[in-house]
Structures are given as C-alpha cells and as structure tokens.
Amino acid sequence: MKFKRFFVKSITIFFVLIILLVGGCYIYAKLSPKLQINMANKVSFYDSNGELFFKGNEDKEWVSLKDISKKVIDATISVEDKNFYNHNGFDIARILKASYINVKNGKTEQGASTITQQYAKNLFLDFDKTWKRKFKEALYTMRLEANYSKDEILEGYLNTINYGHGVYGIENASKFYFNKSAKDLNLAEASMLVGIPKSPSNYSPLINLDLAKKRQEMVLSLMLDNNKISKKEKEEALNQELSFYGQKNMNNSSTLMYYKDAVINELKSIDSIPSSYIDNHGLKIYTNLDLNAQNELEKSIKEEIPDESKVQVASVMMKPENGRIIALVGGRDYNFSEYNRAVSAKRQVGSTMKPFLYYAALENGFTPSSSFISQKTTFTFNDKEKYSPQNYNEKYANKPISMATAIAYSDNIYAVKTNLFLGSDALINVVKRVGINEKLPDVPSLPLGTKEINIIDMTKGYSAFANLGKKVNPHLIQKIEDNDGKVLYKAKEESEQVLNSSLTFILNNMLTATYDPLYVDYNYPTAISLSSKLKHTYGLKSGTTETDNWHIGFNKDIITSVWVGYDDNTPLQTTEYKYGQNIWFKATEKYEENKDDVWYETPKNVNLVYVDPISGNLVDENAKVKKGVYFLKGSEPTNTQEVFDEKKDIPHEA
C-alpha cells in the first residue's frame, strides 16, 4: 500500500514538474523579444574582390503568403503537417504515433516535426544532433508560436526552406525550376516543388526525374486524402508534362555552392559568431574566393571527366603564404550531389605521404643522393609478420637508386626501407608538425599512404613545404560583418616555423623530379607527360591506390590539391588515373598564366652539385648525363656513394 502511494505521488510530481517546465518555457517564449522572422537566413557571401556571389533571403526575395500559390500552401501542409492550424507547435498525437511505429519496427521510419519545428531548425546554422541544439530549437518553436500567427509562421517557413541546388525559399525555387513567380505555379508544378525538400539530392527533377515523379504522386495523394484536390485534378497534374528551367539569376556555376557550404562549415567553428542568423540580424561574410580560379577549376574538371562517368572529384586551391583557400570543389556538380568531399571525405592518400618521410630522412642525415637498392623485397617485422610492397607496373632498378630518383618514380621499396631505417616515429612526427592531426598507424606501409586523410588537411601539410617550413591555417573566411557593418570576426593569419627552411628547399627541388626528363631511365617519372606542358616550376607529387588518385603541387604563389575516385570505392580504371593530373595541370597553370616563374632562392648554406640522376653519384660537368642537385654544404656526394642497405640491417628477403 505504501509503495502504491509512493508511486502515485512520484508520478504526480513528475507530471507537475513537466507541466511547470513546459508552462515556464511558454511564458518565457511569450515574454521574449519578438523574432524578426523575415531576417532568417539573411546572409550574404562576398568574394575576395568584395563582389556578392551568393545571398540568402534578401527583402526583395521574401514573398508574402498571399503571393504564393494556394496549391503550394495546400500541398505543403498536406505533406509536412496536416494539423498545422490545430496545434501549438508540437503535434503530440503525431509524435506518439511516430514513436510507436519507429520502436515497433526497430528503425526510424516516420518523423513528427511540425512546420513550426522545421522552421525553427531552418533558423540555425548548426544542425548537429545534440540535446542542447534540440532544446534551443524547442524554445524557438515556442517563441514562434507565442509571437506569430500561423500564417506568418507558414510564410517564414516557405521563404527559408531548402529546395536543392543551393536554392532557398519558394520564390527562388519557382524561378529556378520553372522561371516564374511562386504565385503563378499550377498544381503539377506546386506538387513537384513541395516534394523536393525532404531530400533535395534525391527528389530534384533535375537529378532524378523518376524519383521526383514518385514523390510528386505521393504529395498529390496526400492532398487528395486531405480533400484539397479532386481525383481528376490529381490525375491531370500527374499527367502534365513539365518543362524545367534550372538556372539562377546569379552565378550558374555547378561547383560554387561547395565553396559556400564549406564557408558555412567553417562559420560553425568560429566561437565569436552566435549560432543563429536571427540573433545576428543577418550576416555579411567576406571570403577568400577567387571566382576566376573557381571557374577555371570547374572548367578543367568538366573538360577532363566525361559526362557519363560516375567518378567524383575534390580539389582545393590555396595561397600558401597565408592559408587563404581561393577555390574549392567538393564534387563534379552540386546540382547532382551536395555531398562536399573537400570538407567531409577522408581518402587514402597514397604516395603523397612520401614527401613527409623524405623530409624526415633529410633531417636525419640523408641527402638527395642517399641510396637504397630498389628490388622486389619481402620485409619481416614484429619478428614474424611479412610485407611485400610492389612498385607500380612491377618496375625495379635492381640496383641502388638515389632519394631524388625514388621521388621521381615514387619507388615503394625505397620508401619502405627508409621508413624502417628511420623508424615510423620520424614520419609521424613530421606529419604532426605540419598540422595533420590524423592518428597514424605505426606500420611499414605508412609512407605508401594507406591512411585516409581529408584533402584540406593534406593541403595544409604541403603548405609547410611551399612556405619553406612555415605552417599556416587554411581558411575560407576573411571577415564577417553584421548588416550594420559592424565587424564581428576577422581572420588571424599567423604562421609558425615547423621545418628547417634549407632542408625544405632541398626537398622542394627533388619534387620537381617527378616531371624531369633527366630521370628517364629504367622507368619514367610519374608526371613525365607534363614536362613539355608546364610553363612554371612546381614541386609535385602524385598518390595512387586502387581506389584513389591524388595530385598535390605548389610553388611560392599557389598550392593545388586534386583527388579523384568513386564514392563507393570502386577501383579506378587505368584511363581514369589521368583525370587528376590533367585537372591539376590545367587549373594551376591557368592561375599562373602571365605570371613570372616564382621559385625559391637558394639558401646560403646550400650548394648546387652535378650528379648522375639515377645513382646520385658525383659527376663532373663534362658528363654526358648530369643533373644539378642541391645539398647542404658539407654533405655533397662522392662518386662512390654509400648504399644504406649495407649500413643498417633491415630485415627483409630480397
């Protein structure tokens, strides 16, 4: 009996507390300042020249409910929230029903967000699924319901919702898809548009017309169930052939929205900027975007990758001296895939990892002439485990080769021997110093790039080479102002010396061997096809795995990184490996067009010495084949270089 009274008392107290909490929240919402909903998502993006390249809901694009087709309104309510006019922001019956179905089926099949809740979510920059964000979203829902009529909330929702392709708001969507105002949409057009926001990358008719039509049919069926249309109207709308416009009034680039989305992603990490657009009454974001560089990068991608191919791409162009990202591509076409691979993806980096190893080697007494024997080898580590790396196309010198040659050919045997000779800590230490924070495994294959790393992080790492040892922080945002012109944020462009500048200079010059004809011997340098095309000097390294292809190249002025591969890790075909190299070459050379060849001045403690390109042995100036290579003074080679295989026992079976 006592337990029963205790239980009843506890339940009563619990519900009283819930009522007090909810009531308190509603009182807080009612007393809070009225939200200026027509300011939601009022954000403008400017390029490095101060020119507007994307804007959210400016006043002239915000349309009142009376200027939106009744068909759009009826379709939206039928699909998203049929009880919209009968609840106070939360549809409790719908929440309970959806929860029951989801629990019963063991997965999330139904959602229960009302239009007011979805609108509150649209007011946030941060869409992370945290309890803090959900609580703030609930408070915004209450504030909206407490201070605005249902018509005003619906108007705000329709003016901020995402209709895909970087298009927000019903008026923008109407003009983008059908080249007409929202008030002029017929039932077929309205039902097609209303179906898109659930998943723009799937239901846009410009991406998948079949899926879009199925979604349209569902929208029309719900309108019929809610007595908004007749069966005849449904059939007529379904059978109407629609013509799609698919153009924006501003920049019609197919990749520019990747840059914009990357800016939003960076914005979320700036603590000095409040979390919602509303609180800021709009934002002006001044970015580092070079629109010419962005367009040329996009053009090179379109020229190289066939339209019918499903290969994807990510690319970053950055100013190495300050970390300003001037161009960014997260996929081939934002209209077909909004997934931003430049920001969100991590891929195996292949041999682009090797320069970090070879810098570590230089720091530990190696020189460009330091040699290992390149031959088919099985390595033994941990006393019992065996590892048998292969060179591309199974080409081996079967003789000692220099470090410069190993870079030119991207020789895997030389890299693994160097890694085992130094110990993996040497490579890992350099990678961390240049700002790549991925946890790297201590395995012999580490320098061959089996670890997955993001392209912006790799660009940051290579910028330390381009800056002769200085680390910078990549960034897209230069300055943020509110709509009154008050500066809320300004980027701090700081650098830190993390590598020896003279050793970095030596490494950079070795990275030009990847396209140097003097290294043609038993094999060809990895980028030899570019030797006659490049008008400027670059340090360049490629990385190739079965599923990933990278090219990262730089000089003092620019660093460009390109990744090519399939989202589902489908192996690349032989012909597809050329895409990345050509994209890198075209975009970078176009950016450097009509500019002087900017390379690095020789440090005072470095000498130029002529050597045999392959062996690294010293030769005189009369030698038939010779290559000028840089060395620290006092470390110049002789004509009988020591082979490191003979200097330290590396467990292997030749």
Helix (H) or strand (E) holding 77: helix 70-80
SS3 content of the chain, % helix, strand, coil (to 5): 45, 15, 40
Burial of 182 (0-12, 13-18, 19+ CB in 10 A): buried
Q: Which residue has the tokens 């030899």?
A: 528
Contacts of 295 by beta carbon, 8 Å cutoff, 6+ apart: 253
Q: Could you tell me the sign of the dihedral formed by the alpha carbons of 242, 339, 592, 449, in that order?
A: negative
**Strand 312-319 versus strand 347-348 pairing type:** unpaired
Helix (H, G, I), strand (E, B) or coil at 351: helix
The candidate with the shortest Cα–Cα distance to 159, out of 281, 53, 261, 61, is 61
Distance CA 508, CA 613 (A): 16
217 is catalytic: no
Helix (H), strand (E) at residue 214: helix 209-225
Longest dimension (CA), the chain: 108
d(CA 375, CA 413): 7
Q: Is 487 helix (H, G, I), strand (E, B) or coil?
A: strand
**Annotated catalytic residue 109:** no
CA–CA–CA angle 15, 16, 21 (5° rounding): 95
DSSP alpha helix (H) spans, 511-652: 577-592
Locus of tokens 């090179």: 300
Pairing of the two strands 43-46 and 283-287:
parallel
Q: In what order do the strands lie in the sheet with 385-387?
A: 385-387, 378-381, 652-653
Catalytic residue among 69, 78, 80, 145: 80
Annotated catalytic residue within 351, 402, 424, 615: 351
Query: DSSP of 280-315, one letter per residue?
Result: HT-EEEEE---HHHHHHHHHHHHHHS-TT---EEEE
d(CA 551, CA 620): 35
Which residue type, as a one-letter code, is found at position 433?
R
- Token representation of residue 19: 């009522």
Residues with catalytic annotation? 80, 351
